[in-house]
């Protein structure tokens, strides 16, 4: 509990004790009674009166502070001293519960995301020295002891250990790492000390990006939040005018039309009760809190949602398009076999490795690993990439084509068909076909279940967009249950295809695209909801995405949609509940059937129930 919350709680207790005591006192003098009740009133309500005065002075739109000030001052002016103090007391009790609930939810989220490292260990003169992570340069060697957080992204250069990645990925299963493995900041070292060579500055590391995403998530507001803000801005002055009308029109109508007694005090009191009930506190407080809690709960599950507007859009997802490599499949390519024709296998791999030497594509890296020798770049005269097809190069003054069937056909080279299923890289030297390399990629263990779970989450159609050939794409799609496949696509073709899909769907439905590579960034940015695989994905894809999956598990896509659905369900529950109770109690107050203290108790009760309901959005474990 903060100092401010303790102070407010103390004020509430003192005012409540004084109010109870005053109920047992009989006052002979009306002015003395007024002064006695003004003491607890000012103790509990001075801050509300101050805020109301400032809103009038600054000509700001009406808010709940002004409504409460008008209602309570009006009640006291009518001689209902106890009622005026009770209303302010109940209102402050509600405000305190709301403040406490919000601070608890913020602390819960902060605890869930407590991944910011306080220091990094650098070895100097045989001793470990703690320094600020911001001071560590790329290429420095840091020591991570057991129980410590990894402060920066890097590569293990000494030691083997297990890492607790749950704060980032939501997965409780430890991750084993050894020399040569990449590690990301924010993970906790569990079993033995390791040395890590840093590959990024602290400001660019995973932990910094994650914290930045979460801290900025509340700046992107949803349509529901915008609606509630606008609703409160127009609703509050409207109810003030309605209250004025309620105080003036009925008594005048009764007196002049029905020839009854002119009784302004009764109707003014009803109008003041009407004002108390009309406060939109439950809506204004609970809706943003629901989204805040939902984003925090999703973060704990390893799903980073960059704003509540994306949460709302995600809940309407009915179409999901996937990239294949690195998203549905592991993206870890291995050479399965080498089929030579006119070259030895060693020569085939040698020319292929030199042709792919400057490429960072996973397929190129698999060929380089299989070659297993240093590449002599002096032998490479020139390299030209043909997008979506392969590479043309001059090596040792020999003209090389290395790539897929399209590249060979474009250059009039007859290939030998490969019966194996997978990625086939063909090689031609000086216009003659020399063989091909069969490269395989494995489907992720959770991909099939991910598609099934998406169907359960309300997704109507799943689509795969890939640059691979028809056979490979169709086989993967059939194995995991993808509804629609578009293969042999160049990066620009994926953009065109997503444009087509966006035109086909209904306006209220949304299309999500999930990818991991730099080539996916334009498509991720174009989709209604762009989702990036964060752990292995490129920085460009993560930057363009609206949602980031921290452990590259496609199963998290359905989890993200279910979290969004739960969040929106709670939002709708709170809106309907608050509005229904408001309408009923406003009618009762206008008819004189709801007293002021009953009205404020009802209003505070609605707010507390709505806040408690909103905090349920934090719970995403069993989704």
User: Which positions are annotated as active-site residues?
Assistant: 323
302: phi > 0 → left, psi -120 to 50 → alpha, else beta; which? left
Give 449's Cβ-side CA count (13 Å radius). Answer: 8
- C-beta of residue 532 within 8 angstroms of C-beta of residue 341: no
Task: Spell out the long-range contacts of 223-226 with Cβ–Cβ below 8 A and sequence spacing 24 or more.
Answer: 223/309, 223/312, 224/287, 224/291, 224/308, 224/312, 224/568, 224/571, 224/575, 225/287, 225/288, 225/291, 225/308
For the chain, the C-alpha Rg in angstroms (whole number) is 33
Give 554's Cβ-side CA count (13 Å radius). Answer: 32
Whole-angstrom distance, CA of residue 556 vs CA of residue 327: 11
**Where are the alpha helices (H) located in 60-80, listed in sequence order?**
64-77
Beta bridge partner(s), residue 530: 513
Sign, Cα dihedral of 425, 427, 432, 435? negative
Beta bridge partner(s), residue 433: 428
Beta bridge partner(s), residue 340: 435
Whole-angstrom distance, CA of residue 45 vs CA of residue 76: 13
- C-beta of residue 141 within 8 angstroms of C-beta of residue 123: yes
- C-beta of residue 545 within 8 angstroms of C-beta of residue 531: yes
CB within 8 A of 460, min separation 6: which ones? 318, 319, 509
Q: Encode burial over 144-182: b for 16+ CB neighbours within 10 A, e otherwise.
A: beeebbbbbbbebeebebbbbbbbbbbbeebbebeeeee
State whether residue 562 is helix, strand or coil. helix
Whole-angstrom distance, CA of residue 316 vs CA of residue 564: 9
- C-beta of residue 182 within 8 angstroms of C-beta of residue 134: no
CB atoms inside a 10 Å sphere around CB 507: 5
Question: How distant, in Å, are the alpha carbons of 37, 47, 71, 209, 590 from that of 85?
Answer: 7, 14, 11, 49, 21
- C-beta of residue 136 within 8 angstroms of C-beta of residue 119: no
CB atoms inside a 10 Å sphere around CB 22: 17
- C-beta of residue 58 within 8 angstroms of C-beta of residue 65: no
- C-beta of residue 274 within 8 angstroms of C-beta of residue 266: no
- C-beta of residue 436 within 8 angstroms of C-beta of residue 425: yes
Helix (H) or strand (E) holding 390: strand 390-395
Chain-centroid distance, C-alpha 109: 12
Give 102's Cβ-side CA count (13 Å radius). Answer: 17
């Amino acid at each position: 509990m903060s100092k401010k919350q303790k102070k407010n709680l103390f004020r509430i207790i003192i005012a409540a004790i004084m109010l109870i005591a005053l109920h047992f006192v009989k006052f002979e003098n009306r002015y003395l009674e007024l002064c006695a009740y003004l003491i607890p009133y000012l103790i509990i309500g001075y801050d509300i009166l101050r805020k109301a005065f400032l809103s009038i002075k600054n000509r700001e739109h009406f808010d709940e502070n002004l409504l409460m000030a008008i209602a309570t001052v009006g009640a006291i002016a009518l001689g209902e001293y106890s009622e005026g103090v009770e209303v302010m007391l109940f209102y402050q009790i509600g405000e305190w519960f709301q403040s406490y609930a919000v601070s608890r939810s913020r602390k819960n989220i902060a605890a869930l995301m407590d991944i910011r490292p306080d220091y990094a260990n650098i070895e100097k003169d045989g001793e470990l020295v703690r320094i600020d992570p911001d001071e560590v340069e790329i290429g420095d060697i840091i020591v991570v002891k057991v129980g410590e957080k990894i402060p920066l992204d890097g590569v293990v250069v000494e030691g083997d250990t297990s890492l607790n990645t749950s704060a980032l990925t939501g997965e409780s299963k430890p991750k084993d790492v050894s020399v040569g493995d990449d590690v990301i900041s924010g993970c906790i070292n569990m079993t033995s000390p390791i040395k890590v060579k840093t590959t990024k500055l602290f400001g660019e590391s995973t932990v910094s990006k994650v914290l930045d995403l979460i801290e900025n998530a509340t700046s992107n507001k949803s349509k529901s939040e915008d609606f509630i803000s606008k609703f409160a801005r127009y609703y509050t002055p409207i109810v003030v005018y309605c209250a004025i009308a309620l105080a003036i029109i009925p008594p005048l109508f009764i007196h002049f039309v029905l020839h009854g007694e002119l009784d302004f005090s009764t109707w003014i009191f009803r109008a003041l009760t009407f004002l108390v009930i009309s406060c939109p506190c439950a809506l204004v407080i609970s809706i943003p809190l629901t989204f805040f809690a939902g984003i925090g709960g999703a973060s704990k599950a390893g799903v980073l949602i960059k704003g509540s507007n994306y949460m709302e859009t995600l809940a309407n997802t009915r179409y999901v398009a996937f990239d294949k490599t690195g998203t549905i499949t592991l993206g870890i390519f291995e050479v399965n076999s080498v089929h030579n024709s006119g070259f030895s296998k060693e020569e085939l791999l040698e020319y292929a490795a030199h042709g792919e030497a400057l490429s960072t594509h996973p397929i190129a890296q698999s060929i380089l690993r299989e070659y297993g020798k240093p590449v002599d770049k002096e032998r490479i005269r020139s390299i030209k990439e043909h997008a979506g097809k392969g590479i043309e190069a001059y090596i040792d003054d020999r003209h090389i084509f290395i790539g897929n069937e399209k590249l060979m056909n474009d250059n009039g080279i007859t290939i030998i068909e490969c019966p194996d299923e997978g990625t086939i890289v063909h090689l031609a030297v000086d216009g003659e076909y020399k063989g091909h390399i069969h490269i395989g990629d494995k489907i992720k263990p959770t991909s099939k279940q991910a598609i099934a779970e998406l169907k359960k989450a309300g997704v109507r159609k799943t689509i795969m967009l890939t640059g691979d050939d028809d056979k490979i794409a169709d086989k993967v799609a059939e194995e995991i249950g993808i509804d629609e496949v578009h293969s042999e696509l160049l990066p620009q073709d994926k953009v065109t295809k997503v444009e087509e899909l966006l035109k086909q769907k209904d306006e209220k439905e949304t299309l999500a695209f999930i990818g991991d590579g730099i080539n996916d960034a334009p498509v991720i940015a174009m989709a209604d909801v762009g989702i990036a695989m964060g752990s292995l994905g490129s920085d460009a894809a993560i930057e363009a995405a609206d949602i980031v999956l921290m452990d590259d598990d496609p199963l998290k896509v359905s989890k993200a949609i279910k979290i969004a659905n739960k969040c929106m369900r709670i939002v709708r529950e709170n809106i309907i509940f608050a509005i229904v109770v408001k309408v009923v109690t406003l009618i009762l107050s206008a008819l004189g059937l709801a007293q002021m203290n009953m009205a404020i108790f009802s209003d505070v009760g609605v707010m507390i129930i709505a806040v408690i309901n909103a905090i349920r959005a934090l719970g995403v474990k069993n989704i």
